[in-house]
A and B are shown apart, each in its own frame.
Chain A
């Protein structure tokens, strides 16, 4: 398996622009998580899906952020409009939440810079 695939790996945009980050989870995994990592705040959970349904979005900073999972193999995180304080590395992760240790597998991340 290719692992969790994220795109783009790097994005530089200007304040006010729309940003869309994409994620392809590991095939067969039924849970997907979006995290944000910054030096100041560390690793923050933004939202997670189970069987394509959003379960907890309490970590989404504000209405400018939205996430969708239209099918089991694709998810997007959208920021509109973007602001400089959104600059961070955004990670997507997936897991199989059945029996066993339920290991979370991370993608390589999307580094976002908002000027």
Chain B
């Protein structure tokens, strides 16, 4: 079945450091891929998405490229800020049985220190 694996946290970085959060997936079809972010006390919010191979999703300085050959969708940011401290979830959606199912990773907590 479909699955998403992302790196364990927590990840602790200093402000302006480079961020990578690894995500790999297993899917039988051609899924869409997503990164969601959850700030403390809030629901998950879409950060970026990619719908096909080699697509690059980007938002708020974050980027991720859909790599079909390595089944990966790693999240990167060149210079993190304290305000980026949150939990990041990698996810995929795939069509099965006529409807879409969404599979989420376990989440990676990021803490950015001033």
Contact = CB atoms under 8 A, between A and B. Distances in A.
Interface in A30-89: 31, 33, 42-43, 45, 48, 50, 55-56
A62 to B, nearest CB: 22
B111 interface: no
A104 B102 contact: yes
A2 interface: no
B106 interface: yes
A50 to B, nearest CB: 5
Given A43-B104, A104-B93, A97 B43 contact: no
The range of chain A's interface size is 20 to 34
B42 interface: yes
Nearest to B91: A104
Nearest to A45: B102
A38 to B, nearest CB: 12
A106 B32 contact: no
Contacts of A100: 51
A101 B44 contact: no
A97 B100 contact: yes
Given A50-B98, A101-B93, A104-B91, 16 more contacts: A31-B100, A42-B104, A42-B107, A43-B104, A43-B107, A48-B101, A56-B101, A91-B44, A93-B43, A100-B51, A102-B100, A103-B49, A104-B34, A104-B93, A104-B102, A106-B43
